[in-house]
Amino acid sequence: MTIRNILVSYNATPAADAALALARRLALMRDGHLTGVLSYGPQEIITSYAGYMPAGVAEQLVEADLTRRDEVMARFGTLTSDMDPSRVHFRDVFSSADNGLMDVARCYDIIVMGRAEETGAFPHMEPHPDVVARHSGRPVLVVPAGYAGTTCATSAMIAWDGGRAASRALSDALPLLTPEAVVRVVTIGRPEDSAALDPVATHLARHGLAVERDIRQRRPGRSVAQTLLEGCGAGGVDLLIMGAYEHSKFAEDLFGGVTDTVLRNTPIPVLLSH
């Protein structure tokens, strides 16, 4: 099954602009539909302190939200104005930034989004790709802010550890990979561990894809995430494919997980699956 029904999380931030640009290219290349969604909830200051605010302040905050929503929809329309209008859609969802996006995403092939801004002016309009990947059941393509690449999935790298999340990521990536794609399968280990890559290399080859194997050894003081990012920089890779949170989200947060470190530092899009 090819990718034809694309959902892009859009809130007009620089990261969202980059995500929309890539989602737009994917939709045009695959003759697909592109749906933008602004998912948001009430501002925390209103829900927590409404009874303590001076008269009119809550109304001003709500009005600011309405203005921002209009700005987001207008910018989305401008950036997709060259597409077939029958294939471009927009949804405004009031729930919470993460939950609203996950609820909408159930019947789409892929979610494209940027990483949430930690100091944004509208944090209640900022969904988090790691949370969405963990709970939505859909693959999430995370695009770094400022990304201006014109290709995606023509030279991909998959982080392979043989686990469930990596297996799911491999399956979710196949419809995204172009027929001429070269896929580098990377694992962290010793050169003698190369046989562990045989099953995944065979699987990709049977789908007609060119496969390269890469056994990377961790240098002293370098984390798994840093080792993966170094691999992305070696060879013009335009997509990193990886499982998200093989362990619990609490353990990832506590020990500085691979997923979070990669998303904070990646120069290329990352396909996350869980």
pLDDT-based confidence at 20, cuts 50/70/90? very high
Angstrom distance (rounded) from CA 112 to CA 98: 14
The residues, ordered by sequence, that sit 6+ positions from 265 with a Cβ below 8 Å of its Cβ are 225, 229
Q: What is the pLDDT of residue 126?
A: 94
pLDDT-based confidence at 86, cuts 50/70/90? very high
- Between 80 and 61, name the one with better pLDDT: 80
- Sole residue written with tokens 């209009």: 70
* 188-237 residue pLDDT tens: 888 777 888 999 999 999 999 999 998 887 777 678 888 888 878 766 88
Lowest-pLDDT range of 15-19, 148-152, 206-210, 237-241 = 148-152
* 167-201 residue pLDDT tens: 999 999 999 998 889 999 988 888 777 888 999 99
Angstrom distance (rounded) from CA 78 to CA 51: 39
Q: What is the pLDDT of residue 256?
A: 45
Closest CA to 46 of 124, 118, 121, 120: 124
Task: Copy the structure tokens of residue 147.
Answer: 């990304």
Lowest-pLDDT range of 59-73, 157-171, 233-247 = 233-247
Q: What is the pLDDT of residue 144?
A: 92
Average pLDDT, the chain: 86
- pLDDT, mean of residues 135-139: 92
Angstrom distance (rounded) from CA 190 to CA 217: 6
DSSP, residue by residue, the chain: ----EEEEE--SSHHHHHHHHHHHHHHHHTT-EEEEEEEE---HHHHHHGGGSPTTHHHHHHHHHHHHHHHHHHHHHHHTTTS-GGGEEEEEEES-HHHHHHHHHTTSSEEEEEPPPTT-S-GGG---HHHHHHHSSS-EEEE-TT---S-SSSEEEEE--SSHHHHHHHHHHTTTS-TT-EEEEEEES-GGGGGGGHHHHHHHHHTT-EEEEEEEPPPTT--HHHHHHHHHHTTT--EEEEES-SS-HHHHHHHT-HHHHHHHH-SS-EEEE-
CA distances from 42 to 48, 115, 134, 226 (A): 10, 20, 23, 37
52 pLDDT higher than 60: no
Task: Copy the structure tokens of residue 241.
Answer: 């494919």
Lowest-pLDDT range of 74-83, 88-97, 154-163, 216-225 = 216-225
247 pLDDT higher than 60: no
Q: What is the pLDDT of residue 188?
A: 83
Is 90 exposed, middle or buried, given 0-12, 13-18 or 19+ CB atoms closer than 10 A?
Answer: middle
Half-sphere exposure of 90 (CA within 13 A, CB side): 18
**Positive or negative, the Cα torsion across 100, 29, 143, 72?**
negative
Task: Copy the structure tokens of residue 207.
Answer: 């789908």
Q: What is the pLDDT of residue 121?
A: 81
253 pLDDT higher than 50: no
265 close to 232: Cβ distance less than 8 angstroms:
no
